[in-house]
Amino acid sequence: MSDEPDLAVSAEGLRPVESAARDLRDRLLGDGLAAEPEGYAAAAALRGADLASGAAIVRLTERWRTQVLHLCEDCGRISGHLSETATAHAEWETRIGEDVRRATTAGLENVTPNRALLALGGVDTSDVDTSDGGGAPDGGDA
């Protein structure tokens, strides 16, 4: 069994995306709503001139604000999720690996490994303890 994870999540690969999402959220709050006062001022001026487009500009400005805030929330979620993903994945990979090792070795403490059989399976036997001098089922070398 390989100790290498079969699915790797790179914190270095996720960090730029997480940072970009956080930066976009921060910029949206300022830049995305920068024209809001002017939108309401234009709407008030148009309403003052008894033009129906004033109400339309109010609706547009309110809708724009709602969309900017939703996008900010989404960017915050993306940023938060990515900042936790690499850490959580590493913890899961470690725990699962330990569980698999524990499950595959349970009850095998007194079994002497057969170096020849392990070698046939492509397992490096240099660190396999065969302190009884054997390794083959009959106690001798295979």
**Sorting pLDDT into bands at 50, 70 and 90, what band is 58?**
very high
Rounded distance between C-alpha atoms, residue 69 and residue 119, angstroms: 61
End-to-end, the C-alpha distance of the chain in Å comes to 22
User: In 3-state terms, what secondary structure has residue 112?
Assistant: coil
Residue 135 reports pLDDT greater than 50: no
Q: What's 51's DSSP letter?
A: -
Q: Where are the domains of the chain?
A: 11-113
Rounded distance between C-alpha atoms, residue 131 and residue 10, angstroms: 40
Q: What's 54's DSSP letter?
A: H
Rounded distance between C-alpha atoms, residue 91 and residue 81, angstroms: 15
Please state which of the ranges 23-27, 62-66, 81-85, 86-90 shows the lowest mean pLDDT. Answer: 86-90
- The pTM assigned to this predicted structure is 0.57
